[in-house]
């Protein structure tokens, strides 16, 4: 049994893989998740062993640079003390700048470091840490921005799917009379998604029986509920939830950004998606995440800047009138996930890390 630390933080896109890795490895190892203040709200503190080591926000101006450097160095020292005290043998990073201090501390202590990159474009933090790691786990052999001389470190694994989703069995229900649309704003809530399709949804609700599931930020929860209610649109508005998979499963279509965890869960649960990548994502990684699956005919993809008036209205009408389009995507998703097995993935990951 090894003592392992999984470093994560920031957004759900980093924290969800940390949870899955914990569940994969916990039976055979002693695991502690190290997380910052931003990411800890996504973790069940009763289920996971967690250590809070906060990492300062990066400032782009000279005034904030000195305080940042001081607190950043303090984060490395705190990480060093934690790793030594707990006698940690191995560190796994799920990416993001918040993982740099603990990985640097692990390097000073000469510990094994593994990186995880869920996106189709190598993140900048992982690129920086590549020289110090044993291996980097990815979902694809052809990761963009991975230096050629580092390709030997790339270990391709199956997408990390949460255990509760693997075990989730939806009871057969009567065919719904509604066309259900799930709008996923992500762990932080996509503000743009709260209004980009507002007119289209009103028009659709007047012509068809639709139901909207809308995940938004906690801050805008009340306003969005009021909007749907005032327009007499059948809806359920909610903030971040660990039970999103239950809503995904009963939705006919998901409209989403294209973070790796979200897209993988949609594919696994068999819900076709319309991906609208966050236009300001670093290195445009969300576009490439979605493009990979769209090329396999598992969903649709559009740039936010290409969305015109009545786009969603016409898009949904086409799906309702041509149900085979949704059916074909679902069939493709079913074929795509057939070889995905929790136990096999868990055993392989353990073997790769512990050998």
- Write the DSSP string, 137-165: EES-S--BT--GGGGGGEEE------HHH
Q: What's the pLDDT tens digit per position in 180-210?
A: 999 998 655 467 787 789 899 999 999 999 9
Which residue has better confidence, 174 or 137?
137
146 and 69 co-located in one domain: yes
- The model's confidence at residue 125, banded by pLDDT at 50, 70 and 90, is very high
139 and 49 co-located in one domain: yes
Distance, in Å, from the CA atom of 192 to the CA atom of 216, rounded to the nearest integer, reads 10
Q: Give me 43's structure tokens.
A: 């973790």
Phi/psi for 284 (5° steps) reads 55, 35
Distance, in Å, from the CA atom of 144 to the CA atom of 121, rounded to the nearest integer, reads 5
Give rounded-to-5 percent helix, strand, coil for the chain: 50, 15, 35
Which residue has better confidence, 68 or 40?
40
Q: Look at the chain and report how many structural domains it folds into.
A: 2
Distance, in Å, from the CA atom of 194 to the CA atom of 224, rounded to the nearest integer, reads 7
Distance, in Å, from the CA atom of 259 to the CA atom of 266, rounded to the nearest integer, reads 11
Q: Mean per-residue pLDDT for 269-279?
A: 93
Burial class (CB in 10 A: 0-12, 13-18, 19+), 91: buried
Q: Mean per-residue pLDDT for 113-140?
A: 94
253 and 309 co-located in one domain: yes
Distance, in Å, from the CA atom of 7 to the CA atom of 344, rounded to the nearest integer, reads 24
User: In the chain, what is the straight-line distance between the N-terminal and C-terminal CA atoms, in Å?
Assistant: 12
147 and 207 co-located in one domain: no
- Collapsing DSSP states into helix, strand and coil, what is residue 48? coil
Distance, in Å, from the CA atom of 163 to the CA atom of 161, rounded to the nearest integer, reads 6
Q: What's the pLDDT tens digit per position in 306-317?
A: 999 899 999 999
332 and 273 co-located in one domain: yes
What pLDDT is attached to residue 171?
55
108 and 193 co-located in one domain: no
Sequence-distant (≥ 6) Cβ neighbours of residue 150 within 8 angstroms: 130, 136
156 and 172 co-located in one domain: no
Sole residue written with tokens 């270990």 = 155
| CATH code (residue 88) | 3.40.50.2000
59 and 179 co-located in one domain: no
188 and 145 co-located in one domain: no
155 and 198 co-located in one domain: no
Read off the pTM. 0.88
Burial class (CB in 10 A: 0-12, 13-18, 19+), 63: exposed
Q: Are strands 90-93 and 3-7 parallel, antiparallel or unpaired?
A: parallel
Distance, in Å, from the CA atom of 120 to the CA atom of 143, rounded to the nearest integer, reads 5
Least confidently predicted of 40-44, 251-255, 279-283, 304-308: 279-283
- The model's confidence at residue 219, banded by pLDDT at 50, 70 and 90, is confident
What pLDDT is attached to residue 280?
82
pLDDT above 90 (res 158) = no
Distance, in Å, from the CA atom of 114 to the CA atom of 11, rounded to the nearest integer, reads 20
288 and 196 co-located in one domain: yes
Sequence-distant (≥ 6) Cβ neighbours of residue 249 within 8 angstroms: 168, 170, 269, 270, 271
What pLDDT is attached to residue 167?
79
Containing domain of residue 280, as a range?
A: 167-337
171 and 123 co-located in one domain: no
Closest to 340 measured CA to CA, from 143, 161, 120:
161
Q: Mean per-residue pLDDT for 152-170?
A: 85
Please state, rounded to an integer, the average pLDDT across all residues of the chain. Answer: 89
Residues in the chain: 355
Distance, in Å, from the CA atom of 263 to the CA atom of 257, rounded to the nearest integer, reads 8
């Amino acid at each position: 049994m090894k003592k392992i630390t999984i470093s994560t933080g920031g957004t759900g896109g980093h924290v969800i893989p940390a949870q899955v890795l914990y569940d994969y490895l916990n039976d055979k190892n002693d695991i502690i998740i190290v997380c910052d203040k931003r990411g800890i709200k996504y973790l069940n503190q009763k289920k996971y062993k967690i250590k809070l080591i906060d990492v300062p926000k990066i400032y782009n101006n000279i005034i904030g640079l000195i305080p940042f450097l001081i607190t950043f160095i303090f984060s490395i020292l705190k990480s060093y003390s934690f790793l030594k005290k707990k006698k940690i043998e191995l560190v796994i990073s799920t990416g993001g700048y918040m993982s740099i201090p603990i990985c640097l501390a692990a390097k000073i202590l000469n510990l094994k470091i593994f990186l995880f990159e869920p996106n189709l474009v190598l993140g900048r933090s992982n690129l920086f840490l590549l020289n110090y790691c044993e291996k980097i786990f990815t979902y694809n052999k052809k990761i963009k921005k991975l230096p050629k001389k580092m390709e030997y470190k790339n270990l391709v694994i199956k997408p990390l799917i949460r255990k509760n989703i693997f075990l989730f069995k939806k009871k057969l229900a009567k065919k719904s009379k509604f066309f259900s649309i799930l709008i996923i704003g992500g762990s932080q809530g996509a503000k743009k998604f709260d209004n980009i399709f507002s007119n289209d949804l009103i028009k659709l609700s007047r012509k068809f029986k639709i139901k909207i599931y809308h995940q938004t930020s906690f801050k805008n929860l009340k306003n969005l509920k009021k909007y749907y209610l005032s327009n007499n649109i059948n809806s359920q508005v909610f903030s971040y939830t660990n039970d999103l998979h239950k809503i995904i499963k009963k939705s006919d279509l998901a409209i989403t950004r294209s973070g790796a965890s979200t897209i993988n869960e949609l594919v696994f649960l068999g819900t076709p998606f319309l991906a609208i990548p966050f236009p300001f994502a670093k290195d445009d990684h969300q576009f490439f995440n979605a493009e990979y699956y769209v090329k396999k005919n598992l969903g649709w993809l559009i740039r936010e800047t290409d969305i015109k008036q009545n786009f969603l209205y016409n898009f949904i009408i086409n799906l309702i009138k041509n149900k085979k389009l949704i059916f074909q995507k679902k069939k493709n998703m079913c074929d795509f996930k057939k070889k995905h097995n929790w136990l096999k993935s868990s055993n392989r990951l353990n073997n790769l890390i512990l050998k």
